[in-house]
Structure 1
């Protein structure tokens, strides 16, 4: 029996760095389960980084608070991949959460959300000295008017998180972009350190469709959500969560008879 035996993972937002289909195979190999979305059986919730592009800060904060209130364990995308052994772990560290907060003066709520969206080397305590450097930089950006979301979105467009410790970060309002963080010396694409092949473009399409369907369902656009879930099922007919969600959306939009066939 493995350490993940019996664990049921659910995702909110598509994974940015690894196809869900491949992650699901590894979870199953380790005797756990991985499903898109969250249901009553979910024990661990993985927040995919693509959610940053799909939802605003307030919506993300609401969803994080709602999941935390259920008692489920929340995991960042990198934390999830490391847990599965699909991503190299960062260097050993020994700094507690409280020590990081005390020394950086970053608000606990901002630290929590930035960790959840992998803006640090470590996604949870113990943190490292590099994480402390980043936390101090982020605290300065927040003091300059940046939100945690603007920081997180910009970090993942700038390069490996560890490389930011040696760069100067500036609030985008200085250049007319209050929603972005600028680096001295330009920007580069994030390159991960994954150990598996990244799979096919269809995986990305499916993840994006499911995320769009969830967003439509959250906004009570039930007919649109049902159509999007149907497109998910056209790609992966075995997706029980998409089928369940589609049926719920059909009932909510007055198509109970059609929902009964799902």
Structure 2
């Protein structure tokens, strides 16, 4: 089974089907579905409603983060096909490189347009219809349109393949028009949630607003919004984790501890929750509890460099120099060039010097 053991995160609301259906199918196939993206996430699904709620720059930043983390980015159609809820179109044999060469569409624009199902296929191999669409999109981009405006308009006539028969034009770099004789008609219609429900849409909107408030350091608003998310879906471990981070920033230590505990209870493998909870405990001089949480984080993810480094720092502060050295040596195996690596190396040198002096 291709998704056994995989962890999926959804960014933005789904337009084609409800989240609860996706969660049920992922669980049936022995995967895990979570809101947002964490270290354990292996696949990130970009919901098409994101096009209506976020700017091109914001979406590109999310996409770049996924690519940097070596996670797999999925469109809604790609997600459906992976869940075996939809079959892929037939007659596809054109590589991404060949499609770019025939259309002059850039690699990045192709990737982002595919991510929001602006083609018949969500990835290679592409079809001849996709080549036609790519040429039309390249023409719109040459006329000043961005991939975001194109992707936002592509589904407003129904199936994107219907665009192959239309003459498309752009004005002001944002509005896509269809030419009919001497007249231009804007591609209209609304992105619908035909199989979804109001809770799905409300939850995604609340979560996005909470993330924005958190990024702007409006912690009071962010905590209120994350609490609202949890009132709708108490099982949302990511909302609980984010709430804990916000409460910690507000100095509400006891409430933050409770929220971290909820996140861990809902998702025992939520490595960031174990790590951040450990940091909170260390700040309260609860070193033994902090150590246990950091050890749990490393047990879940042995390559979690931040947790390894903090274990070294914790043991150093407690005077356990041999243990500190072991953890810092491990850290240098994971990171040999950053400023933290230089600090770890100096720590090892200090421990070695201390040991030499003690022996003399």
TM-score for the superposition, normalised by structure 1: 0.90
Matches within 5 A, 1:1-262: 2-173=1-172, 178-185=173-180, 186=185, 187=187, 189=189, 198-262=195-259
Q: From the superposition, tell whether residues 171 and 203 of structure 1 become closer, same or farther in structure 2 (CA, over 3 Å).
A: same
Call closer, same or farther: CA 1:224–1:259 in 2, change over 3 Å. same
Determine the C-alpha separation between the residues in 2 that align with 1:190 and 1:130. 24
Q: Is the 8 A contact 1:153 1:180 kept in 2?
A: no
**Comparing 32-41 and 83-92, the one that deviates more:** 83-92
Q: Aligned equivalents of 1:219 and 1:60: distance in 2?
A: 17
Contact in 2 for aligned 1:15/1:207 (Cα 8 Å): no
> 1:137/1:250 Cα in 2 relative to 1: closer, same or farther (>3 Å)?
same
Aligned counterparts of 1:162 and 1:81: Cα–Cα separation in 2: 18
Supply the distance in 2 between the matched residues of 1:25 and 1:91 (Cα, whole angstroms).
27
2:115, 2:229 → 1: CA distance?
Answer: 26
Report the Cα distance in structure 1 between the residues aligned to 2:143 and 2:216, rounded to whole angstroms.
32
Q: Which has the higher helix share?
A: 2
Unmatched segments (≥5 aa) in structure 2: 260-360
Which deviations, in whole Å up to 9, do the C-alpha atoms of 1:6-62 show, x marking residues without a partner?
010111111122111110010000000111001111011111111111211111111
Runs of 4+ in 1 over 6 A off after TM superposition: none
1:138-196 CA-partner distances (Å, limit 9, x unpaired): 000110011111111111223210100000111023xxxx312112354454799x9xx
For residues 86 and 189 of structure 2, what CA distance do their matches in structure 1 show? 18
Structure 1 or 2, whichever has the larger Rg, is 2
Check 1:191–1:53 CA distance in 2 against 1; reply closer, same or farther (3 A cut).
Answer: closer
Give the aligned length: 254
Asked whether the 8 Å contact 1:120–1:162 carries over to 2, the reply is: yes
Report the alpha carbon displacement of residue 256 of structure 1 after superposing the two structures with TM: 2.6
What value does the CA root-mean-square deviation take over the aligned residues? 2.0
SS in 2 for 1:249: helix
Moved more, 230-239 or 86-95: 86-95
* Partner SS state of residue 151, structure 2: helix
Displacement after TM superposition at 1:217 (Å): 3.0
Distance, in Å, in 2 between the alignment partners of 1:24 and 1:35 is 8
**TM-score calculated relative to the size of structure 2:** 0.66
Measured in 2, the distance between the counterparts of 1:199 and 1:141 equals 32
Equivalent-residue separation in structure 2 for 1:191 and 1:206 (angstroms): 17
